[in-house]
Amino acid sequence: MSSASDDPTANAVHVLGALALELRGDAPVARDRLAQHEAGALAERIANDLARFAPAAASLDLVTVGAHYDPVELLRPAWPLHQELDQLAARAPSSGGGARVIAFGAHGQALPGALAPSPEHAGGPLRLVPFVLGGDADTAAAVGDAFERELLERGMAGADTALAAQELFGLRVEHARYLTAHDLAAMTALQYEHAGLAPLWPLLETALLEPTGEAWLDAAPEPLVRYGDGEARIALFSPNGWHARYEPDADCTDEDARARLHRRFTQFEVRQRQIAAVFAAHGVPVQFVHCPAETDCRAVLV
């Protein structure tokens, strides 16, 4: 992914991506961050790999970190991890005109800025080492376009890079490949579809790619959700309000029918909490908004 607007303080084009490490089974992970010299060694290998896919990448600054993250930590509005890398790199000394390879590592256990991986999202099967390429706008745009065309199909990391990541982080790598931020979003959309979360993805995609935009989930039996103004607003119904909106013709004449309706309402509430948790994991603020009976709930969420 190349963007001229991910950092509103800069005019340069940036290419946002990640080294994706698909881990083997339930093998343990020794650590989630590297010392400075180890981060630098891994960054040099990443730079060599990226230049192999697009030689012009060698003329751009590469900024990365010796740490790995869950996809939800990268897929957040305004791409905060990539933004943090770019902002930290802006403080690094110039190399005298040539392209720089800048890697941030841990001093003790502390990573600079807001780069610490979240322990809440540790343990997943896919871990990501983010990177930013930046420099000449035309070159970065061309490299970004080349990466969008090719990385998903042939972006396997070099064997030495995969082995270095495995040894340095103390984990077991099944596959190591490069992805653009768009590639990662597309893969996540597919995973969410398999997990039954496809109706939610258009709202998340809007939050990622158009944070100031608006999108709705308004398709029964799903909860009513609006993304807009930088947050997700979820309509909160009373049992009677839910019955009126989602089951207006339901038979409530006997105890068994009422029990079935109550179970469906309970499942609806579970779905609401699941959706709220997914938004929160992606860094999208969530607000539950009470929708009184006989109210235009869409109007309440605006």
Residue with tokens 């989602």, as numbered in its chain:
246
> Which of 194, 212, 240 delimits the end of a domain?
194
Question: Is the same domain home to 160 and 211?
Answer: no
First and final C-alpha spacing in the chain: 31
Tally of structural domains, the chain? 2
* CA gyration radius, the chain: 22
pTM over 0.75: yes
> Which two structure tokens, joined as six digits, stand for 149?
């065309």
Same domain, 124 and 188: yes
Q: Which of 155, 179, 194 is the last residue of a domain?
A: 194
Please identify which residue in the block is written with the tokens 């709930």.
Answer: 297
Give me 38's structure tokens. Answer: 């180890």
| pLDDT tens digit at each of 302 positions of the chain | 655 444 333 445 799 999 999 998 777 899 999 999 999 999 999 999 999 999 999 999 999 999 999 999 999 999 999 999 999 999 887 766 689 999 999 998 999 999 999 999 998 999 999 999 999 999 999 999 999 999 989 999 999 999 999 999 999 999 999 999 999 999 999 999 999 999 999 999 999 999 999 999 999 999 999 999 999 999 999 988 998 888 887 777 788 878 888 899 999 999 999 999 999 999 999 999 999 877 899 999 99
Q: Tell whether 238 and 288 lie within a shared domain.
A: yes
pLDDT value of residue 142: 97
Give the angle 177-78-88 at the CA atoms, nearest 5°. 75
User: Which of 135, 168, 194 is a domain's end point?
Assistant: 194
At 142, give phi and psi (nearest 5°): -65, -45
Distance separating alpha carbons of residues 19 and 22, to the nearest angstrom: 10
Give residue for tokens 């930590």: 73
One domain, residues 133 and 185: yes
Do 163 and 51 lie in a common domain?
yes
207 lies in the same domain as 189: no
- The pLDDT value given to residue 95: 64
The pLDDT value recorded for residue 55 is 97
pLDDT digits (tens, 9 = 90+) for 64-83: 999 999 999 999 999 999 99
Structure-block tokens of residue 79: 């791409």
Co-location of 245 and 134 in the same domain: no
Q: Quote the CA–CA distance of 34 and 20 in Å, as a whole number.
A: 16
Q: Are residue 184 and residue 223 in the same domain, yes or no?
A: no
CB 155 within 8 A of CB 177: yes
Asked whether residue 98 falls in the same domain as residue 232, the answer is: no
CATH of the domain at 261: 3.30.750
User: Are 230 and 291 part of one and the same domain?
Assistant: yes
Nearest to 203 by CA among 181, 179, 180, 229: 229
CA distance 171 to 164: 10
- Say yes or no: 235 and 141 in one domain: no
- pLDDT of the residue at 252: 74
Domain that holds residue 126: 2-194
